[in-house]
């Protein structure tokens, strides 16, 4: 019996050391790698959440650009029947052009008619328009101007960059009754 009693503490010590080694092996082989993998996943989740926030912020911009891309702008001038201006309508031309430019956020700086064309009864009225504004608004202005029934032709367009916008100089020929 004595023999068994003396071995018992040694066996307990061996079992205790084996169990301790098993626990330490479990910690080093299972728990620590899982914690590292969990930390990596947390970092990936943080990165993906920041990308999602950026996408949510940019979504309205994308939607508005997509809408603008789907809109089809006219690529040709509308075909209108040519109607000559009466002599009384000549006075109204500047008001009509001012109103048209105002609808497209353009400012008409100068408006001149060639008096020689009126006096010579050439059948045309030459108008020089000097305006400022945005190029895309000027484009829309030209499309609306092209639909004007008395417009014979746009003879000349000069575009120049100025501080904060563009400067446009047009020479327009309108049909008038002689």
pLDDT tens string 26-45: 888 888 888 998 899 999 99
Q: How many CB atoms lie under 10 A from the CB of residue 23?
A: 10
Residues 164 and 99 grouped into a single domain: yes
Q: How confident is the model at residue 8 (pLDDT cuts 50, 70, 90)?
A: low
167 domain residue, yes or no: yes
pLDDT digits (tens, 9 = 90+) for 36-76: 988 999 999 999 999 999 999 989 888 888 888 888 765 66
Question: 141, 164 in Cβ contact below 8 A?
Answer: no
Report how far residue 20's alpha carbon sits from residue 116's, in angstroms, rounded to the nearest whole number: 112
Residue 83 lies in a domain: no
Please check whether residue 54 lies inside any domain of the structure. Answer: yes
Co-location of 1 and 55 in the same domain: yes
| pTM greater than 0.85 | no
pLDDT for 66: 87
Report the side by side order of strands in the sheet with 165-175.
107-113, 124-133, 165-175, 151-162
What's the domain range around 48? Answer: 1-71
What CA–CA distance (Å, rounded) separates 122 from 20? 112
Whether residue 79 is contained in a domain is answered as: no
Residues 95 and 142 in one domain: yes
Residues 53 and 116 in one domain: no
């Amino acid at each position: 019996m004595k023999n068994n009693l003396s071995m018992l503490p040694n066996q307990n010590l061996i079992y205790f050391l084996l169990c301790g080694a098993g626990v330490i092996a479990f910690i080093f082989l299972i728990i620590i790698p899982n914690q590292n993998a969990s930390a990596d996943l947390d970092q990936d989740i943080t990165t993906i959440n920041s990308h999602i926030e950026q996408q949510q912020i940019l979504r309205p911009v994308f939607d508005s650009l997509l809408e603008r891309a789907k809109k089809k702008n006219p690529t040709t001038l509308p075909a209108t029947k040519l109607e000559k201006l009466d002599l009384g309508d000549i006075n109204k031309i500047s008001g009509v052009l001012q109103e048209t430019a105002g609808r497209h956020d353009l400012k008409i700086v100068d408006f001149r008619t060639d008096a020689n064309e009126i006096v010579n009864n050439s059948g045309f009225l030459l108008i020089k328009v000097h305006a400022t504004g945005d190029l895309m608004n000027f484009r829309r202005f030209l499309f609306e101007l092209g639909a004007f029934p008395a417009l014979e032709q746009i003879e000349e367009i000069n575009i120049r960059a100025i501080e904060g916008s563009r400067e446009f100089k047009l020479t327009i020929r309108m049909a008038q009754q002689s």
